[in-house]
Structure 1
Amino acid sequence: MLEAPASARLIEAFANTVDVELGTDELDTAGGLSAWLADQGLLDRGRRVGAEDHALCLRLRTGIREELGVHVGDTADTALLAGADDALRELPVLITVRRGTGDGGAPSPALSPVPGLPPVRKALAGLAIAWSELTVTGEAARLKRCAEHGCAWVFWDVSKNRSRRWCSMRICGNRAKARRYSAKQAATSTGRPA
């Protein structure tokens, strides 16, 4: 089984802060965002998130979820993608030629938030870096939003050919197949082609 890299696990968790089925959103408030970023180790606990940073984060998440939900034959909402791109432009990242040593002599990555960013923007830039790593390596293609619109859960596709459409074939896949079967039966009983 192909294990998801840390960047994929972070983006998957970020995208899944929205639960379509339950109608919940962990990031619906600035306080919720602050707590979630702290839980992910991106922000010191108790750090306040302002309204502007909260809105920026929601634009980024909405665009990422939209991109992950594009299946064969679908078209993405370009306004949502543009909103996420605008959010990414507000989260500058420093790219270095080689890894160096950061605070305390620990190795620093080739991608890092621009020095001097306020703490919340630095945390959000961490999400931007994770997304960038996935897209540059092509691994973003393994992160998908479930094709069952009532679910829309984001999952890591472990199939060899990256063709999985549902987070769970047993639940969401069966729902979709049952609906198609019912529609076909209804069409057949009314004499219309399916």
Structure 2
Amino acid sequence: MIEAPSSAQLVEAFANTVDVELGTDDLAASGELAGWLADRGLLEAGSPLSAADHELGLRLRAGIREELGVHVGDTPDPDLLLAADGALRELPLLSTVRRGTSAALLPAPELPPARKALALIAVAWTELVITGEAARLKRCAEHACAWVFWDVSKNRSRRWCSMRVCGNRTKARRYAAKHAGTAG
């Protein structure tokens, strides 16, 4: 089993703040996003988060979720991807060399705390893309679910968060559609 790196765990948790099946959004209000960031040690508890920062975080999340759907064959909404790219431009990152042995991406030091916290999510996403590990992070192909999961399969071929639930739903619908009209 291939364990998800911390960057993937952060991006997965961020993307899963939306539950399509239940119709809930854990980040619907800016205070909820601030609390979520604080719970993960990305933002000091009680730090303010402006409406613009909240909107920026939601654009980033929507774009990441959209891109993760590509990994299971979905066609992304280009407007959501463009909006997320715009969000990333508002969260500048710096490349630095630490102790002369390894490169690192860091949020630009001039960013205010809330933007710095969001930039840490951008760092995690960028690390996954650069290393190719983003391909293991996927949005469930069952659109009624759309849960984000880490694909532990050896060949990165998993399409559903759960074969027993979402995979079976999809296959049962496909079977029923194929055999509709042949009964009787």
Amino acid paired to 1:86: G
Number of aligned positions between the proteins: 183
Aligned-residue RMSD, C-alpha = 1.6
Q: CA deviation at 1:100?
A: 4.1
State how far apart, in whole Å, the 2-side matches of 1:73 and 1:168 are.
17
Q: Deviations over 1:68-97 (max 9, x none)?
A: 01255532111100000000000011101x
**Corresponding residue SS for 2:180:** helix
Structure 2 residue 98 is the aligned partner of structure 1 residue 99: yes
How far apart are the structure 2 equivalents of 1:114 and 1:146?
Answer: 33
Aligned sequence identity (%): 72
Task: Please name the residue that 1:118 is paired with.
Answer: 112
Letter of the 2:82 partner, please give it: A
How far did 1:116 drift? Answer: 1.9
Task: Name which of 148, 159, 162 aligns with 1:154.
Answer: 148
Matched, 1:17 2:17: yes
State the TM-score, normalizing by the size of structure 1.
0.90
Note if contact 2:71-2:135 (Cα within 8 Å) is conserved in structure 1.
Answer: no
Cα contact 1:43–1:120 (8 A) shared by 2: yes
Distance 1:8 1:50 in 2: 26
Distance 1:123 1:71 in 2: 26
Q: Which amino acid in the other structure matches residue 113 of structure 1?
A: P
What is the CA-CA distance between 1:185 and the residue it aligns to?
Answer: 1.5
Q: Any stretches of 5+ residues in structure 1 without a counterpart?
A: 102-107
Partner of 1:185: 179
Pick the aligned partner of 1:173 from 167, 176, 182.
167
Q: Whole-Å Cα distance in 2 between the matches of residues 74 and 153 of structure 1?
A: 14
Q: Are residues 1:137 and 2:136 paired?
A: no
Q: Is the 8 A contact 2:18 2:25 kept in 1?
A: yes
Alignment of 1:5-44 (within 5 A): 5-44=5-44
List 4+ stretches of structure 1 deviating above 3 A: 71-74
Deviations 1:12-42, CA, capped at 9 Å, x for gaps:
0000000011111011000000000001110
In the alignment, which residue of structure 2 is the partner of 1:104? none
1:57 lines up with 2:51 in the alignment = no
Indicate the SS of the match to 1:95: strand
Note the residue ranges of structure 2 that are not aligned, 5 or more in a row: none
**In the alignment, residue 161 of structure 2 is paired with which amino acid?**
C
Paired residue secondary structure (2:94)? strand
